[in-house]
Amino acid sequence: MSIQIGDKLPDATFMEATADGPAPRTTADIFAGKTVVLFAVPGAFTPTCSVKHLPSFRDAADTFSAKGVDEIVCTSVNDAFVMGEWGKAENVGNTMRMLADGNGAFAKAIGLELDASGFGMGARSQRYSMLVKDGVVVQLNVEDGGAYEVSSGEYLLGQL
């Protein structure tokens, strides 16, 4: 069963690329006492993720901030190096954090893992967006199949 509105995020550790190399970041580090937008993509550098999904949050960062969002977090089942380079390629700057769920442990823990082996991509995360307040999910938008509709930055902004 996947995570639902009203559920607390499970304890998990992501990896973040830093100047000193990959650094662990726990869900407590990221979400405790903050309002955070979290969105996941099936893969860094993939077409829909790069052309539509990530830009929809990057370009709306100021609007999210004005609506009380403390931070925007992008995650994917990729390693910290890939996520860091993807953030640079997409010019995210300080608009969001790029966190790697390298082994898919977080995606699995929240029940939103995706078997993309038919595309040669192995285990991944489903495409979704959520609003999290102090570690509790208050909005959740999970895409069906290969769709890109309800997980966009614009859609989540309309829910705030």
Active site residues: 49
Question: In the structure encoding, which two tokens stand for residue 63, read together?
Answer: 């609007």
If we measure between CA atoms, which residue out of 158, 34, 143 comes closest to residue 25?
34
Torsion of CA 83, 87, 93, 96, to 10 degrees: -60
The amino acid at residue 133 is K
Torsion of CA 140, 100, 89, 119, to 10 degrees: -80
**Is 111 exposed, middle or buried (CB count within 10 Å of its CB: 0-12, 13-18, 19+)?**
middle
Structure-token match 């390629």, residue found: 89
Question: In the structure encoding, which two tokens stand for residue 68, read together?
Answer: 């009380």
**Terminal CA-CA length for the chain:** 26
